[in-house]
Amino acid sequence: MALFNRKNTAPSTTATLAVDPALAALTGTYTIDPAHSSIGFTVRHAMVTNVRGSFGDHEGTLVLDGANPAASTASIDVKISSVDTGITDRDGHLVSGDFFDAETFPLMTFRSTQAEQLGGDTYRVTGDLTIKDATRPLSIDLEFNGSATDPYGNQRVGFEGSAEILRSDWGLTYNAALETGGVLVGDKVKLSFDISAIKAAPQA
């Protein structure tokens, strides 16, 4: 089911494409449910293994437009101090001035600028990712997992996806050299998103 850009492969005519009723029914504003969503990351450590972590405190909004899917938008705010890698000392280092400097820059944000369908239920959302005082473009490939009404009567939509960044592009350059060659922390960071969002009730 297409949620974003449907590519029109028909010849250029004055005909108007019909709106998919199932798509139109999803039109609305959705609030990300942090209790059933996760934003995670994976980065190479000491050249030989991976460290995985997540940000437990985040909020965001999806605005889905069934009549004009390309107008759909997404915005996410992530609280840096909620980083969790399972090691308290490591988390403390990540929020320090060596890395995120959470005291000065408490939020990481994403604001979409474009959405398109890649094929089937796979999409690419492009936008601006801000970490510390740097804002750079980021494209996130997402799979639409569907929609459902939960036992409490909430209409939900679900997405999961991933992206890769170089942390140095956002000024996260701290590192330490290894005696055997290489560095302690890899530059490439794999981001993962598993999002469940609840449709807001229509305003009276």
Contact indicator for 32, 59 with CB cutoff of 8 Å:
yes
Q: Confirm whether pTM is higher than 0.85.
A: yes
**Strand 122-131 with 83-84, pairing:** unpaired
Average pLDDT (141-164) is 94
Tell me the per-residue pLDDT of 21-77, one tens digit each, with 9 for 90 and over: 776 788 999 999 999 999 999 999 999 999 999 999 999 999 988 677 778 899 999
Token code pair at residue 32 = 């990300």
Provide the pLDDT for residue 201: 81
Provide the pLDDT for residue 25: 82
Confidence at 3, pLDDT banded by 50, 70, 90: low
Buried b (16+ CB within 10 A) or exposed e, 123-150: bbbebebbbbeeeeebebebebeebeee
Average pLDDT (109-138) is 93
Facing residues of 63 across strands? 29, 73
Q: Which residue has the tokens 């405190």?
A: 57
CA dihedral 193, 3, 76, 108 (to 10 degrees): 60
